[in-house]
């Protein structure tokens, strides 16, 4: 196989980070259910909530809907192989420069910003952020960081979200590449990551009015 073909087919993205709050279980489940078992990029999932004593509860729920392997994130574990990495509800997760996970108890309303900012700094253009349904504005700071560092940002169309606050706040930054109905997000991820040349074909210039900094 030529170097050109290898470069076209090799995934250039290192992680997809899904961030959700109110209505998030349905939204996350819908996306994971539609991704193929051959999806080559780790998907990190964070959902708003408080610790309930069962660190694996969300992982077990999501494992029932996807063909991808699902594991619960743990401190010091590598981002690692393809599959779904689920942040335990109520924990703050970041990706360190050595591509390992750090977990601490933190503000349950800012877990999206924490995760997205860390993948932006660590992975740069290798990061894809996906902001899903939720109230308030968690994720808005994170998508700014992702765009500043060259990554991609997808947002659920607020009209398809149970709660429009988080998607709308992300959109208001001007740092969003695509606003899509929930059912089209999996296809967009597959096109970006798995289609030869898809990452280049689906490149969107940063809006002139984008606020890359708060």
* Catalytic-role residue among 48, 59, 113, 177: 48
Measure the CA–CA gap between 118 and 96, rounded to whole angstroms: 7
Catalytic residue status for 98: no
Measure the CA–CA gap between 165 and 94, rounded to whole angstroms: 23
Measure the CA–CA gap between 20 and 42, rounded to whole angstroms: 17
* Catalytic-role residue among 137, 138, 149, 169: 138
Catalytic residue status for 137: no
Catalytic residue status for 213: no
Tell me the two tokens of residue 6.
């290898």
* Catalytic-role residue among 21, 59, 118, 169: 21
Pinpoint the alpha helices (H) of 124-177: 140-148, 165-172
Using alpha carbons, list the distances in angstroms from residue 115 to 87, 161, 201, 207: 10, 21, 27, 24
- Using CB atoms within 10 Å of the CB of residue 10, give its burial: 0 to 12 exposed, 13 to 18 middle, 19+ buried: exposed
Residues for the chain: how many in total?
214
- Would you please indicate which residues are annotated as catalytic (active-site) residues? 21, 48, 138
């Amino acid at each position: 196989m030529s170097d050109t073909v290898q470069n076209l087919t090799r995934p250039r993205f290192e992680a997809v980070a899904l961030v959700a709050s109110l209505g998030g279980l349905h939204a996350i489940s819908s996306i994971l259910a539609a991704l193929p078992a051959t999806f080559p990029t780790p998907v990190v999932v964070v959902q708003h909530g408080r610790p309930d004593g069962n660190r694996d509860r969300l992982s077990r729920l999501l494992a029932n809907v996807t063909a991808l392997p699902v594991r619960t994130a743990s401190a010091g574990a590598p981002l690692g192989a393809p599959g779904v990495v689920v942040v335990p509800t109520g924990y703050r997760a970041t990706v360190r420069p050595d591509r390992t996970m750090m977990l601490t108890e933190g503000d349950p309303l800012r877990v999206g910003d924490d995760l997205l900012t860390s993948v932006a700094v660590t992975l740069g253009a290798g990061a894809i952020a996906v902001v899903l349904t939720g109230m308030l504005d968690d994720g808005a700071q994170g998508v700014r960081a992702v765009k500043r560092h060259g990554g991609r940002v997808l947002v659920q169309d607020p009209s398809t979200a149970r709660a429009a606050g988080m998607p709308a706040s992300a959109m208001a930054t001007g740092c969003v590449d695509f606003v899509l109905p929930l059912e089209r997000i999996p296809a967009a991820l597959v096109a970006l990551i798995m289609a030869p040349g898809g990452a280049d074909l689906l490149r969107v210039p940063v809006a002139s009015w984008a606020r890359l900094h708060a």
